[in-house]
Protein backbone atom coordinates (compact mmCIF):
# COMPACT_ATOMS: atom_id res chain seq x y z
CA UNK A 1 0.00 0.00 0.00
CA UNK A 2 2.84 2.36 0.91
CA UNK A 3 4.53 1.62 -2.40
CA UNK A 4 1.28 2.26 -4.26
CA UNK A 5 0.70 5.56 -2.43
CA UNK A 6 4.27 6.57 -3.11
CA UNK A 7 3.90 5.93 -6.81
CA UNK A 8 0.59 7.80 -6.87
CA UNK A 9 2.11 10.80 -5.09
CA UNK A 10 5.07 10.88 -7.46
CA UNK A 11 2.74 10.70 -10.46
CA UNK A 12 0.57 13.50 -9.09
CA UNK A 13 3.64 15.62 -8.43
CA UNK A 14 4.97 14.97 -11.91
CA UNK A 15 1.59 15.94 -13.40
CA UNK A 16 1.58 19.14 -11.36
CA UNK A 17 5.04 20.07 -12.60
CA UNK A 18 4.07 19.25 -16.17
CA UNK A 19 0.94 21.40 -15.91
CA UNK A 20 2.97 24.26 -14.48
CA UNK A 21 5.53 23.90 -17.24
CA UNK A 22 2.80 24.14 -19.89
CA UNK A 23 1.28 27.26 -18.35
CA UNK A 24 2.40 30.65 -19.59
CA UNK A 25 1.64 33.83 -17.67
CA UNK A 26 2.57 37.24 -19.10
CA UNK A 27 2.49 40.63 -17.42
CA UNK A 28 1.29 43.49 -19.63
CA UNK A 29 2.05 47.15 -18.89
CA UNK A 30 -0.39 49.85 -20.04
CA UNK A 31 -1.57 53.02 -18.30
CA UNK A 32 -4.59 55.13 -17.38
CA UNK A 33 -7.70 52.98 -17.17
CA UNK A 34 -9.43 50.52 -19.45
CA UNK A 35 -10.71 52.49 -22.44
CA UNK A 36 -11.08 52.36 -26.23
CA UNK A 37 -7.30 52.72 -26.54
CA UNK A 38 -6.70 49.43 -24.68
CA UNK A 39 -9.59 47.31 -25.91
CA UNK A 40 -7.44 45.34 -28.36
CA UNK A 41 -5.04 44.40 -25.54
CA UNK A 42 -7.97 43.22 -23.43
CA UNK A 43 -9.42 41.28 -26.38
CA UNK A 44 -6.03 39.74 -27.19
CA UNK A 45 -5.72 38.42 -23.63
CA UNK A 46 -9.25 37.00 -23.83
CA UNK A 47 -8.63 35.26 -27.17
CA UNK A 48 -5.26 33.80 -26.20
CA UNK A 49 -6.69 32.36 -23.01
CA UNK A 50 -9.63 30.85 -24.90
CA UNK A 51 -7.46 29.29 -27.60
CA UNK A 52 -5.10 27.68 -25.10
CA UNK A 53 -7.71 26.49 -22.64
CA UNK A 54 -6.45 28.92 -20.03
CA UNK A 55 -2.82 27.79 -20.31
CA UNK A 56 -1.63 31.18 -21.66
CA UNK A 57 -2.86 34.11 -19.60
CA UNK A 58 -2.08 37.83 -19.53
CA UNK A 59 -2.22 40.04 -16.46
CA UNK A 60 -2.94 43.57 -17.72
CA UNK A 61 -1.72 46.29 -15.37
CA UNK A 62 -2.88 49.90 -15.71
CA UNK A 63 0.15 51.74 -14.36
CA UNK A 64 1.15 49.21 -11.71
CA UNK A 65 4.22 47.89 -13.51
CA UNK A 66 5.78 51.00 -15.04
CA UNK A 67 5.25 54.62 -16.00
CA UNK A 68 4.05 55.03 -19.56
CA UNK A 69 7.28 56.71 -20.67
CA UNK A 70 9.29 53.78 -19.29
CA UNK A 71 7.39 50.87 -20.84
CA UNK A 72 9.94 50.37 -23.62
CA UNK A 73 12.75 50.31 -21.06
CA UNK A 74 10.81 47.72 -19.06
CA UNK A 75 10.43 45.55 -22.16
CA UNK A 76 14.16 45.82 -22.87
CA UNK A 77 15.13 44.36 -19.49
CA UNK A 78 12.32 41.81 -19.36
CA UNK A 79 10.52 43.47 -16.44
CA UNK A 80 7.28 42.42 -18.18
CA UNK A 81 6.46 40.56 -21.36
CA UNK A 82 4.16 42.98 -23.20
CA UNK A 83 3.62 46.73 -23.19
CA UNK A 84 2.02 49.64 -24.99
CA UNK A 85 3.85 52.92 -25.58
CA UNK A 86 3.67 55.96 -27.82
CA UNK A 87 6.49 56.87 -30.18
CA UNK A 88 6.32 60.56 -29.31
CA UNK A 89 7.17 59.87 -25.66
CA UNK A 90 10.76 59.04 -26.61
CA UNK A 91 11.46 59.78 -30.26
CA UNK A 92 15.17 59.06 -29.87
CA UNK A 93 14.47 55.48 -28.75
CA UNK A 94 12.22 54.62 -31.71
CA UNK A 95 13.07 57.03 -34.53
CA UNK A 96 11.91 54.75 -37.35
CA UNK A 97 8.25 54.65 -36.34
CA UNK A 98 8.03 58.42 -35.93
CA UNK A 99 7.34 58.54 -39.67
CA UNK A 100 3.79 57.62 -38.63
CA UNK A 101 3.56 60.75 -36.49
CA UNK A 102 4.40 63.21 -39.26
CA UNK A 103 1.72 65.91 -39.54
CA UNK A 104 -0.86 65.91 -42.31
CA UNK A 105 -0.04 62.45 -43.68
CA UNK A 106 -3.59 62.28 -45.03
CA UNK A 107 -4.69 59.17 -43.13
CA UNK A 108 -8.48 59.41 -43.06
CA UNK A 109 -9.74 56.32 -41.24
CA UNK A 110 -8.75 53.96 -38.46
CA UNK A 111 -8.51 51.15 -41.02
CA UNK A 112 -5.97 53.19 -42.97
CA UNK A 113 -4.06 53.86 -39.76
CA UNK A 114 -3.83 50.13 -39.10
CA UNK A 115 -2.63 49.46 -42.64
CA UNK A 116 0.13 52.07 -42.68
CA UNK A 117 1.28 51.21 -39.15
CA UNK A 118 1.55 47.49 -39.78
CA UNK A 119 3.31 48.08 -43.12
CA UNK A 120 5.92 50.21 -41.36
CA UNK A 121 6.25 47.73 -38.46
CA UNK A 122 7.04 44.97 -40.96
CA UNK A 123 9.94 46.88 -42.53
CA UNK A 124 13.33 45.31 -41.67
CA UNK A 125 14.86 48.66 -40.66
CA UNK A 126 12.01 49.28 -38.21
CA UNK A 127 12.29 45.81 -36.73
CA UNK A 128 16.03 46.32 -36.31
CA UNK A 129 15.41 49.69 -34.66
CA UNK A 130 13.07 48.18 -32.04
CA UNK A 131 15.27 45.11 -31.61
CA UNK A 132 17.74 47.40 -29.82
CA UNK A 133 15.21 47.32 -26.97
CA UNK A 134 14.60 43.57 -27.25
CA UNK A 135 11.14 44.50 -28.53
CA UNK A 136 9.04 42.81 -31.19
CA UNK A 137 6.27 44.93 -32.70
CA UNK A 138 2.98 43.07 -32.35
CA UNK A 139 0.19 45.49 -33.29
CA UNK A 140 -0.73 49.14 -33.42
CA UNK A 141 -3.25 51.09 -31.35
CA UNK A 142 -4.98 53.02 -34.15
CA UNK A 143 -6.28 56.45 -33.29
CA UNK A 144 -8.17 59.04 -35.30
CA UNK A 145 -6.77 62.44 -36.09
CA UNK A 146 -6.11 64.59 -33.04
CA UNK A 147 -8.01 67.78 -32.33
CA UNK A 148 -7.81 70.50 -29.72
CA UNK A 149 -9.94 71.27 -26.71
CA UNK A 150 -9.54 74.54 -24.87
CA UNK A 151 -11.21 77.24 -22.85
CA UNK A 152 -11.88 80.88 -23.60
CA UNK A 153 -11.87 82.16 -27.17
CA UNK A 154 -11.59 79.33 -29.71
CA UNK A 155 -8.23 79.04 -31.48
CA UNK A 156 -9.79 78.92 -34.91
CA UNK A 157 -7.10 80.77 -36.89
CA UNK A 158 -3.33 80.42 -37.11
CA UNK A 159 -2.97 83.93 -35.71
CA UNK A 160 -4.83 82.87 -32.57
CA UNK A 161 -2.54 79.84 -32.21
CA UNK A 162 0.54 82.05 -32.00
CA UNK A 163 1.83 81.71 -28.44
CA UNK A 164 -0.74 79.03 -27.57
CA UNK A 165 0.56 76.56 -24.97
CA UNK A 166 -0.57 73.17 -26.19
CA UNK A 167 -0.18 69.63 -24.92
CA UNK A 168 1.02 67.88 -28.06
CA UNK A 169 3.71 65.28 -28.72
CA UNK A 170 5.64 64.06 -31.73
CA UNK A 171 4.90 65.44 -35.15
CA UNK A 172 1.73 67.13 -33.92
CA UNK A 173 3.82 69.17 -31.50
CA UNK A 174 6.16 70.08 -34.35
CA UNK A 175 3.19 71.17 -36.46
CA UNK A 176 1.89 73.53 -33.77
CA UNK A 177 5.39 74.85 -33.20
CA UNK A 178 5.55 75.72 -36.91
CA UNK A 179 2.63 78.13 -36.49
CA UNK A 180 3.98 79.80 -33.35
CA UNK A 181 2.44 77.66 -30.63
CA UNK A 182 4.45 76.32 -27.69
CA UNK A 183 4.06 72.53 -27.41
CA UNK A 184 4.68 70.60 -24.22
CA UNK A 185 4.81 66.81 -24.08
CA UNK A 186 3.25 66.10 -20.70
CA UNK A 187 1.90 62.56 -20.65
CA UNK A 188 -1.75 61.76 -21.17
CA UNK A 189 -2.25 61.13 -17.46
CA UNK A 190 -0.83 64.59 -16.66
CA UNK A 191 -2.88 66.49 -19.25
CA UNK A 192 -5.90 67.30 -17.08
CA UNK A 193 -3.75 68.78 -14.30
CA UNK A 194 -1.66 70.71 -16.83
CA UNK A 195 -4.84 72.21 -18.28
CA UNK A 196 -6.37 72.90 -14.87
CA UNK A 197 -3.24 74.63 -13.54
CA UNK A 198 -2.73 76.70 -16.68
CA UNK A 199 0.50 75.01 -17.74
CA UNK A 200 -1.23 74.55 -21.10
CA UNK A 201 -4.06 76.45 -22.77
CA UNK A 202 -5.17 73.60 -24.98
CA UNK A 203 -4.78 69.84 -25.27
CA UNK A 204 -4.49 67.79 -28.47
CA UNK A 205 -5.96 64.30 -28.14
CA UNK A 206 -8.08 61.80 -29.96
CA UNK A 207 -11.67 61.61 -28.79
CA UNK A 208 -11.29 58.65 -26.43
CA UNK A 209 -8.44 60.37 -24.58
CA UNK A 210 -10.37 63.63 -24.13
CA UNK A 211 -13.00 61.47 -22.42
CA UNK A 212 -10.72 59.14 -20.47
CA UNK A 213 -8.39 61.83 -19.18
CA UNK A 214 -11.27 64.28 -18.61
CA UNK A 215 -9.86 67.21 -20.61
CA UNK A 216 -13.28 67.48 -22.24
CA UNK A 217 -14.72 68.27 -18.78
CA UNK A 218 -12.74 71.53 -18.68
CA UNK A 219 -13.23 72.47 -22.32
CA UNK A 220 -15.57 75.08 -23.76
CA UNK A 221 -14.68 74.31 -27.40
CA UNK A 222 -13.31 71.56 -29.63
CA UNK A 223 -11.83 71.81 -33.14
CA UNK A 224 -13.75 69.37 -35.30
CA UNK A 225 -11.66 69.58 -38.46
CA UNK A 226 -8.11 70.67 -37.58
CA UNK A 227 -6.81 67.08 -38.03
CA UNK A 228 -3.06 67.79 -37.84
CA UNK A 229 -2.11 64.14 -37.42
CA UNK A 230 -2.09 61.48 -34.75
CA UNK A 231 0.36 59.64 -32.53
CA UNK A 232 1.54 56.09 -33.05
CA UNK A 233 1.33 53.74 -30.11
CA UNK A 234 2.50 50.18 -30.70
CA UNK A 235 1.98 47.13 -28.55
CA UNK A 236 5.27 45.27 -28.28
CA UNK A 237 6.43 42.03 -26.69
CA UNK A 238 9.76 41.12 -25.18
CA UNK A 239 11.61 39.13 -27.85
CA UNK A 240 13.00 36.56 -25.43
CA UNK A 241 9.54 35.92 -23.97
CA UNK A 242 8.07 35.56 -27.47
CA UNK A 243 10.80 33.14 -28.56
CA UNK A 244 10.30 31.08 -25.39
CA UNK A 245 6.63 30.42 -26.19
CA UNK A 246 5.61 26.94 -27.25
CA UNK A 247 4.54 26.60 -30.88
CA UNK A 248 0.92 26.31 -29.73
CA UNK A 249 1.03 29.43 -27.56
CA UNK A 250 2.88 31.46 -30.18
CA UNK A 251 0.30 30.49 -32.78
CA UNK A 252 -2.50 31.49 -30.39
CA UNK A 253 -0.92 34.90 -29.90
CA UNK A 254 -0.12 35.59 -33.56
CA UNK A 255 -3.50 34.40 -34.82
CA UNK A 256 -5.37 36.64 -32.36
CA UNK A 257 -3.94 39.97 -33.50
CA UNK A 258 -6.27 40.60 -36.43
CA UNK A 259 -9.35 39.71 -34.39
CA UNK A 260 -8.20 41.94 -31.53
CA UNK A 261 -7.74 44.84 -33.95
CA UNK A 262 -11.18 44.21 -35.49
CA UNK A 263 -12.72 44.36 -32.01
CA UNK A 264 -10.87 47.62 -31.33
CA UNK A 265 -12.13 49.19 -34.56
CA UNK A 266 -15.73 48.21 -33.88
CA UNK A 267 -15.56 49.52 -30.33
CA UNK A 268 -13.95 52.82 -31.36
CA UNK A 269 -16.51 53.25 -34.11
CA UNK A 270 -19.27 53.22 -31.51
CA UNK A 271 -17.46 55.91 -29.52
CA UNK A 272 -17.15 58.15 -32.60
CA UNK A 273 -20.87 57.82 -33.29
CA UNK A 274 -21.61 59.20 -29.82
CA UNK A 275 -19.07 62.05 -29.92
CA UNK A 276 -21.41 64.84 -31.01
CA UNK A 277 -23.83 63.83 -28.27
CA UNK A 278 -21.00 64.03 -25.72
CA UNK A 279 -20.13 67.55 -26.87
CA UNK A 280 -23.74 68.63 -26.60
CA UNK A 281 -24.17 67.11 -23.13
CA UNK A 282 -21.05 68.84 -21.84
CA UNK A 283 -21.84 72.17 -23.51
CA UNK A 284 -18.70 72.13 -25.67
CA UNK A 285 -18.78 74.27 -28.84
CA UNK A 286 -17.84 72.47 -32.06
CA UNK A 287 -15.42 74.74 -33.95
CA UNK A 288 -14.77 74.40 -37.70
CA UNK A 289 -11.69 76.11 -39.16
CA UNK A 290 -11.93 77.73 -42.58
CA UNK A 291 -10.31 75.79 -45.42
CA UNK A 292 -7.95 78.72 -46.07
CA UNK A 293 -6.62 78.44 -42.50
CA UNK A 294 -6.20 74.69 -42.85
CA UNK A 295 -4.35 75.11 -46.15
CA UNK A 296 -2.04 77.67 -44.54
CA UNK A 297 -1.41 75.29 -41.64
CA UNK A 298 -0.49 72.46 -44.02
CA UNK A 299 1.82 74.72 -46.01
CA UNK A 300 3.74 75.72 -42.90
CA UNK A 301 3.83 72.34 -41.23
CA UNK A 302 3.51 69.42 -43.65
CA UNK A 303 6.28 69.71 -46.24
CA UNK A 304 8.96 71.43 -44.12
CA UNK A 305 8.58 69.00 -41.19
CA UNK A 306 8.52 65.98 -43.51
CA UNK A 307 11.65 67.14 -45.35
CA UNK A 308 13.45 67.79 -42.08
CA UNK A 309 12.42 64.40 -40.74
CA UNK A 310 13.77 62.65 -43.83
CA UNK A 311 17.07 64.55 -43.55
CA UNK A 312 17.42 63.85 -39.82
CA UNK A 313 16.53 60.16 -40.02
CA UNK A 314 18.74 59.62 -43.07
CA UNK A 315 21.62 61.07 -41.06
CA UNK A 316 20.94 58.37 -38.45
CA UNK A 317 21.31 55.71 -41.12
CA UNK A 318 17.62 54.96 -41.51
CA UNK A 319 15.98 54.55 -44.95
CA UNK A 320 13.81 57.58 -44.23
CA UNK A 321 12.58 58.31 -47.75
CA UNK A 322 11.76 54.64 -48.21
CA UNK A 323 9.72 54.58 -45.00
CA UNK A 324 7.80 57.72 -45.95
CA UNK A 325 7.12 56.32 -49.43
CA UNK A 326 5.93 53.08 -47.84
CA UNK A 327 3.29 55.03 -45.91
CA UNK A 328 2.11 56.84 -49.04
CA UNK A 329 2.08 53.67 -51.17
CA UNK A 330 0.14 51.77 -48.52
CA UNK A 331 -2.48 54.53 -48.40
CA UNK A 332 -2.87 54.34 -52.17
CA UNK A 333 -3.33 50.55 -52.05
CA UNK A 334 -5.92 50.86 -49.29
CA UNK A 335 -7.98 53.19 -51.44
CA UNK A 336 -7.89 51.13 -54.64
Whether residue 310 contacts residue 320, with contact meaning beta carbons closer than 8 Å, is answered with yes
Return the domain boundaries, the chain.
Answer: 23-142+231-271, 147-230+276-305
Whether residue 307 contacts residue 169, with contact meaning beta carbons closer than 8 Å, is answered with no
As beta bridge partners, residue 83 has 29, 236
Nearest to 68 by CA among 239, 264, 268, 233: 233
CATH of domain 147-230+276-305: 3.40.190.170
% the chain with pLDDT above 70: 94
Secondary structure of residue 293 in the 3-state scheme? helix
Domains 23-142+231-271 and 147-230+276-305 alike in fold: yes
Distance CA 226, CA 256 (A): 35
Whole-model pTM? 0.85
Rg (C-alpha) for the chain, rounded Å, is 22
Angstrom CA distances, 249 to 26, 83, 243, 255, 291, stand at: 12, 18, 11, 10, 51
Predicted confidence band at 233 (pLDDT cuts at 50, 70, 90)?
Answer: very high
% the chain with pLDDT above 90: 88
CATH architecture of 23-142+231-271: 3-Layer(aba) Sandwich (3.40)
- 123-142 per-position pLDDT tens digit: 999 999 999 999 999 999 99
Q: What share of the chain is helix, strand, coil (3-state, %, to 5)?
A: 55, 15, 30
Predicted confidence band at 8 (pLDDT cuts at 50, 70, 90)?
Answer: low
Residue 162, pLDDT above cutoff 80: yes
Eight-class DSSP state of 69 = G
Amino acid sequence: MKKLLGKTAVAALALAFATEAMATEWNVSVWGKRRAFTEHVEKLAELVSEKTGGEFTMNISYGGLSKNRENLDGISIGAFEMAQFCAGYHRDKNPSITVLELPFLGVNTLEEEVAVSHAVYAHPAVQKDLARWNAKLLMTSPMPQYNLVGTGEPRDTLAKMDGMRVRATGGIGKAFEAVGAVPTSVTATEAYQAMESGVVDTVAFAQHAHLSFRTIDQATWWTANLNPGTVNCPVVVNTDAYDALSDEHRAALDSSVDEAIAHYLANYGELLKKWDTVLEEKGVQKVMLDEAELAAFRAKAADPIRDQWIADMSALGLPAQELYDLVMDTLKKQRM
